[in-house]
Amino acid sequence: MNGVSLAKKESQRKAEDAILDVTVPAGEGWSHELLPGQVLRIIDVEGNQAADTLFYDAEHPHDHYSVTRTIAGQGGIYLTTSSVLRAESGKPLLTIIADTCGRHDTLGGACSAESNTVRYAHDTLPMHNCRDTFLLELAKQSERYGKRDLPPNINFFMNVPVTPAGELQFADGISGPGCYVELESHGRTLALISNCPQLNNPCNAYNPTPIRVLIWDN
Ligand SMILES: [Zn+2]
């Protein structure tokens, strides 16, 4: 793990108390607006599945999740328990309050038709990808959103270690069946998930699987 310790923490919340409990099939998208204090749990149901995720300040829709603000704010490149996810303005959007995986990526970005053709082969061009799923889900939320509203994202459950030489590796997952991450929303926050359909690297163990999403009132 490149000397990085995993900050695992379990939650006491029970699924039967959740106000929302949905399964997002492999390769599909999901979006939902969280209210202040609500808690979102994302579960890696079968293990080794990447959940590409973005957050937006619902009161200021163009103020979206910022990788640089988040990394600079916590002084570290991996996300786990107690990480504060910040918007471009610096505003805290959510805090990770539980995490049984222990480490999540926010450097690797989302797969797209363009990155697939550059990384793999030109015949991957028509393959389903996270960028298209994000755009489809954003369009459902509001016509005010467009391509310019897609910033670099979070890859929950994805293992992208940074080597001592400073290179990114798309490595086999450190998540397992039933691992989850739980986040508390500070304000009204739009959550946008692409349950990654990627088949060309090990981020989904070459076999995309469902994720499950739960929300609790606090
Ligand atoms: Zn993807």
Distance between Cα 12 and ligand 1 center (Å) = 30
Q: Is residue 109 part of a domain?
A: yes
pTM > 0.85? yes
Q: Is residue 16 part of a domain?
A: no
38 by Cβ neighbours in 10 Å (0-12 / 13-18 / 19+) ranks as buried
Query: Distances from the Cα of 113 to the Cαs of 117, 120, 160, 168, 199, in angstroms?
Result: 6, 10, 20, 20, 12
Q: What dihedral do alpha carbons 89, 35, 21, 176 form, nearest 10°?
A: 30
Distance between Cα 190 and ligand 1 center (Å) = 19
> Under a CB-based contact definition with an 8 Å cutoff, are residues 112 and 196 in contact?
no
Distance between Cα 142 and ligand 1 center (Å) = 22
Q: Is residue 71 part of a domain?
A: yes
Q: Is residue 204 part of a domain?
A: yes
Domain coverage including residue 130: 30-161+168-216
Q: Is residue 91 part of a domain?
A: yes
Distance between Cα 88 and ligand 1 center (Å) = 22
The kind and range of the H/E element at 116 are helix 113-119
Quick one: the chain helix, strand, coil %, rounded to 5?
20, 30, 50
Lowest mean pLDDT, pick from 17-21, 88-92, 201-205: 201-205
> Under a CB-based contact definition with an 8 Å cutoff, are residues 157 and 179 in contact?
yes
Overall domain count for the chain: 1
Q: Is residue 97 part of a domain?
A: yes
Lowest mean pLDDT, pick from 13-17, 171-175, 185-189: 171-175
Give tens-digit pLDDT for 41-51. Answer: 999 999 999 99
